[in-house]
Amino acid sequence: MANEFYIYLSILTPLIAFFTTPLLSSNPNLRDSLGPIGGIITFYSSFNIASLYLDGEVLSFTFFQISETLSISFKITGLGVIFGLVASGLWILASIYTIGYMRGNKEKNQTRFFTFYSIAIFAAICIAYSGNLLTLFIFYEVLTFSTYPLVAHKQNEEAKKAGRIYMGILVGTSIVFLLPAIIIVWVLTGSLDFSTNGILKGNISYEHVPFLLALFAFGIGKAALMPFHKWLPAAMVAPTPVSALLHAVAVVKAGVFSMLVVITYVFGIDFLTETNGAVWLIWISSITLLLSSCIAITKDDLKARLAYSTISQLSYIVLGGAIATNIAVQGASIHIVMHAVGKITLFFAAGAIYVATHLSKISDLNGMGKSMPLTFVAFFIGSLSIIGVPPMGGSWSKFYLMLGSVEKDYLLVIYILAISTLLNVYYLLEIPAKAFFQQKRTNIQVTKHPLTVYPTFFAAILTIILFIYIEPLKDITNLIFGN
């Protein structure tokens, strides 16, 4: 019982922050300190949950029993531990950064912003520790709705339109595809609980597996599989801390996390290998991966380029799940962490540049490296991690993904991964290269806010730390996949 306390603590902390933020609107300093404090508490409890998981303890509790087979319940799974650590750990960084951004940029409605920021983290943590598909679905939707006010924060026509695309795709796919998929699982197996080796084996005929998987893959719109990826670039109208939250921490990671959970705990990796039900998904995710990299090259807007880069990186994770060998899925789950840290660095840097100079076009960044050296170095390191160059964390996950595809003899997949890496090099490294080596065109006033620069640099260093201290992460994933 005492150990379950940590689950309560990690779930309740962001919820308490959600309820207390509006009350403290008259005292901005106190209000803004809720984020970092909450982040530290949540991370502390997530850390304890992770070590308990490594000790082999099974933590679970049922919040509410709706009917015999339906319940809102939480259970610690290996994948959940990883996602919980990512969401809570990066919340600390993001909340510090957000203070700098919002103040440096003098945004309006800051209280509302921080309120919904905490509820989004709450939803992400609940998704991480959910014990069955119903709980996962409920908080998946809570996450969508809580991030809407963040996306449409500026409340102008553009934000309204983007908000429509955002909600339309995410809610639409989840209602039309994800919900029936969950109900089909419920009817077939009589249960929605996650189980280590999947629950579908023996309950579904082989030829129906790809269709059910398709309902899940397209229903989880947050994983941004083409053709349901448009919400991600559309959501770029949001302030940059939101983009960081959406594209590195909470939303997209909740999407790919749900994908991996469905693949490992609902279908079961062995069952998918046995039925070959996921082969089509390999090709869909490969296409998404390549196409979005190509689109990213054409984008001159920094955040739009990062958005398409995110779509492509998410497909790495889905691809790992679709290859459906233990090593590939292990790589995919490590990539959740690596991409989160790498991408949050890039978004932080983009926001720091915007706060300091109000520039958002890549072509305007020529020669800016001298005025903002720390930020651009951080951007450079983050890019290397996304590309997968040692000694950055991103190299590990790519290594495992390649290993997985070799194991299954998917040679074409290896070529696709290689081509995509080249494209990554091209469209990401172009930015620091321009900043450091080209001449400045005009004089631009630079007014940095320290709280935007230091978290960015710290995140960049984190990518290097994660390369060296990969062991705990490996232990967790080994425990999940029994390697």
Partner 1 sequence: MMPFIIKNLPILIVITPLMFSLIVAVLNNNRLAWTLSTFASFLTMIFTIFLCFEVSYKSNISYYLGNWPPPLGIEYVIDRISIIPIMIVSVIGLIATLFAHNFFTLEIDEKLVSKTYSLWLLTIAGLIGLITTADAFNLFVFLEISSLSAVALVALGSKVDRKALVAGYNYLILGAVGATFYVIGVGLLYGVTGTLNMGDLAQKIPALGLNKSVIVAFTFMMLGIMVKAAVFPLHIWLPNAYAYAPSPVSVLLAATATKVSIYIIVRISYTIFGSSYEIYSFESLRYILLYLAILAMFAGTIMAIFEKDVKKLLAHSSVAQIGYIVLGISLATSPGIASSFIHLINHALIKAGLFMSIVAMGYYTLKRIDVKTIAGLGRQLPITFFSFVICALSLAGLPLTVGFISKLYLIKAAYMSEGIWLPFLILVSSALSLIYIWKLIEGLWYSKKSLKIEKIRELPEIYLPLLVITFLNIYFGIDAGLIIDNSFIASDALMSGIR
Contact residues for partner 1, defined by CB under 8 A: 64-67, 70, 72, 137-138, 141-142, 145, 155, 160, 164, 167-168, 171-172, 175-176, 179-180, 183-184, 186-187
Q: State how far the Cα of 415 lies from the Cα of 276, in Å rounded to an integer.
A: 21
The residue whose two tokens read 């009817």 is 187
In the complex, the smallest distance separating the C-beta of residue 155 from partner 1, rounded to whole angstroms, is 7
CB of 175 or CB of 412, closer to partner 1: 175
The CA–CA distances, whole Å, from 421 to 313, 385, 407 equal 10, 11, 20
Q: Which CB, 103 or 230, lies closer to partner 1?
A: 230
Residue closer to partner 1, measured from CB, 18 or 379: 18
Nearer Cβ to partner 1 (172/367):
172
C-alpha to C-alpha distance for 124 and 14, rounded to whole angstroms:
10
- 34 neighbors 21 (Cβ within 8 angstroms): yes
Closest approach, Cβ 254 to partner 1, in A, equals 14
Angle at 389 between CA 387 and CA 394, to 5 degrees: 65
Report which secondary-structure segment, H or E, holds 289. Answer: helix 279-298
Q: How far is the CB of 461 from partner 1 (least distance, A)?
A: 39
For residue 244, the minimal CB distance to partner 1 (Å) is 25
CA separation (Å) from 407 to 115, 156, 412?
Answer: 47, 51, 13
Of 112 and 474, nearer to partner 1 (C-beta) is 112
Would you say 164 or 440 has its CB closer to partner 1? Answer: 164
CB of 184 to partner 1, least distance (A): 7
Q: Which of 230, 14, 222 is nearest to 136 (CA)?
A: 222
Q: Which is nearer to partner 1, 182 or 252 (CB)?
A: 182
Q: How far is the CB of 5 from partner 1 (least distance, A)?
A: 23
**For partner 1, the closer CB: 207 or 409:** 207
Q: Is there a contact between 407 and 374 (Cβ–Cβ < 8 Å)?
A: no
CB 142 within 8 A of CB 119: yes
**What's the rounded Cα separation, in Å, for the pair 378 and 178?**
38
Report the C-alpha gap between 172 and 174 in whole angstroms. 5
Distance (Å, whole) CA 51 – CA 297: 42
CB of 372 to partner 1, least distance (A): 36
Smallest distance from partner 1 to CB 187, Å: 6
